[in-house]
Amino acid sequence: MTLAAAEFMRRFLLHVLPSGFHRIRHYGLLANAKRKSNLAHVRQLLQIPAQVQPVKDPQTETAQATFVCPHCGAGMVITATLPRHYSIGAPPALRGAI
Protein backbone atom coordinates (compact mmCIF):
# COMPACT_ATOMS: atom_id res chain seq x y z
CA MET A 1 0.00 0.00 0.00
CA THR A 2 1.30 3.44 -0.89
CA LEU A 3 0.26 6.40 1.24
CA ALA A 4 0.75 10.11 0.91
CA ALA A 5 3.13 11.56 3.48
CA ALA A 6 0.35 13.43 5.29
CA GLU A 7 -1.82 10.29 5.56
CA PHE A 8 1.13 8.23 6.80
CA MET A 9 1.90 10.82 9.49
CA ARG A 10 -1.77 10.97 10.50
CA ARG A 11 -1.94 7.19 10.93
CA PHE A 12 1.41 7.08 12.71
CA LEU A 13 0.45 9.83 15.17
CA LEU A 14 -2.72 7.98 16.14
CA HIS A 15 -0.38 5.70 18.15
CA VAL A 16 1.46 8.48 20.00
CA LEU A 17 0.07 9.37 23.41
CA PRO A 18 -0.19 12.99 24.51
CA SER A 19 2.24 14.25 27.13
CA GLY A 20 1.32 13.11 30.64
CA PHE A 21 -0.56 9.97 29.59
CA HIS A 22 0.64 6.43 30.36
CA ARG A 23 0.07 3.42 28.17
CA ILE A 24 -1.84 0.59 29.85
CA ARG A 25 -0.29 -2.66 28.75
CA HIS A 26 -2.27 -5.33 30.57
CA TYR A 27 -6.03 -5.28 30.74
CA GLY A 28 -8.81 -7.80 30.44
CA LEU A 29 -7.75 -11.36 31.27
CA LEU A 30 -4.25 -10.28 32.22
CA ALA A 31 -5.34 -7.47 34.55
CA ASN A 32 -3.16 -7.58 37.63
CA ALA A 33 -5.94 -7.81 40.23
CA LYS A 34 -7.47 -11.12 39.05
CA ARG A 35 -4.81 -12.55 36.74
CA LYS A 36 -4.42 -15.90 38.55
CA SER A 37 -8.14 -16.59 38.89
CA ASN A 38 -8.86 -15.48 35.30
CA LEU A 39 -6.13 -17.67 33.83
CA ALA A 40 -7.21 -20.64 35.96
CA HIS A 41 -10.79 -20.19 34.74
CA VAL A 42 -9.65 -19.94 31.10
CA ARG A 43 -7.55 -23.11 31.48
CA GLN A 44 -10.57 -24.89 32.96
CA LEU A 45 -12.81 -23.78 30.08
CA LEU A 46 -10.22 -24.81 27.48
CA GLN A 47 -9.57 -28.09 29.33
CA ILE A 48 -5.87 -27.37 29.60
CA PRO A 49 -4.09 -29.06 32.53
CA ALA A 50 -2.54 -26.91 35.24
CA GLN A 51 0.98 -25.65 34.64
CA VAL A 52 3.70 -28.22 35.18
CA GLN A 53 6.23 -27.41 37.91
CA PRO A 54 9.72 -26.70 36.53
CA VAL A 55 12.28 -29.49 36.77
CA LYS A 56 14.81 -28.81 39.50
CA ASP A 57 18.38 -28.54 38.30
CA PRO A 58 20.77 -30.22 40.79
CA GLN A 59 23.55 -27.76 39.91
CA THR A 60 21.49 -24.73 40.94
CA GLU A 61 19.98 -26.53 43.95
CA THR A 62 23.31 -27.19 45.66
CA ALA A 63 24.42 -23.56 45.65
CA GLN A 64 22.39 -20.93 47.49
CA ALA A 65 20.69 -18.80 44.84
CA THR A 66 21.51 -15.09 45.07
CA PHE A 67 18.54 -14.01 42.96
CA VAL A 68 15.19 -15.76 43.27
CA CYS A 69 12.41 -15.49 40.70
CA PRO A 70 9.46 -13.67 42.32
CA HIS A 71 6.96 -15.77 40.33
CA CYS A 72 8.10 -19.39 40.65
CA GLY A 73 10.71 -19.17 43.43
CA ALA A 74 13.46 -20.83 41.38
CA GLY A 75 17.03 -19.58 41.56
CA MET A 76 18.07 -17.27 38.74
CA VAL A 77 21.49 -17.67 37.14
CA ILE A 78 23.55 -14.70 35.92
CA THR A 79 24.63 -15.49 32.36
CA ALA A 80 26.22 -12.14 31.46
CA THR A 81 26.98 -8.77 32.98
CA LEU A 82 26.79 -5.83 30.63
CA PRO A 83 29.07 -2.83 31.23
CA ARG A 84 27.49 0.56 31.79
CA HIS A 85 28.38 2.91 28.94
CA TYR A 86 27.50 6.12 30.76
CA SER A 87 27.35 7.34 34.31
CA ILE A 88 24.05 7.76 36.07
CA GLY A 89 23.03 11.39 36.46
CA ALA A 90 19.97 13.49 36.94
CA PRO A 91 16.92 12.86 34.76
CA PRO A 92 16.78 14.90 31.56
CA ALA A 93 15.24 18.35 31.76
CA LEU A 94 11.77 18.81 30.33
CA ARG A 95 11.67 20.33 26.88
CA GLY A 96 10.60 23.93 26.81
CA ALA A 97 11.05 24.30 30.58
CA ILE A 98 13.51 27.17 30.19
Its domain, for residue 37, covers 24-52
Query: How many distinct structural domains can be found in the chain?
Result: 1
User: Are 76 and 69 contacting, i.e. CB atoms less than 8 angstroms apart?
Assistant: yes
pTM for the structure as a whole: 0.30
Q: Is residue 38 in a domain?
A: yes
pLDDT higher than 60, residue 18: yes
User: How far is Cα 15 from Cα 77, in angstroms, rounded to an integer?
Assistant: 37
Q: Is residue 37 in a domain?
A: yes
Q: Is residue 80 in a domain?
A: no
Average pLDDT of span 43-68 = 70
Q: Is residue 43 in a domain?
A: yes
Q: Is residue 13 in a domain?
A: no
Q: What is the pLDDT of residue 89?
A: 72
Q: Is residue 41 in a domain?
A: yes
Q: Is residue 12 in a domain?
A: no
User: Are 75 and 67 contacting, i.e. CB atoms less than 8 angstroms apart?
Assistant: yes
Question: 88 falls in which pLDDT band (50, 70, 90)?
Answer: low
**Of all helices (H) and strands (E), which one includes residue 18?**
none
Q: Is residue 44 in a domain?
A: yes
Question: 77 falls in which pLDDT band (50, 70, 90)?
Answer: confident
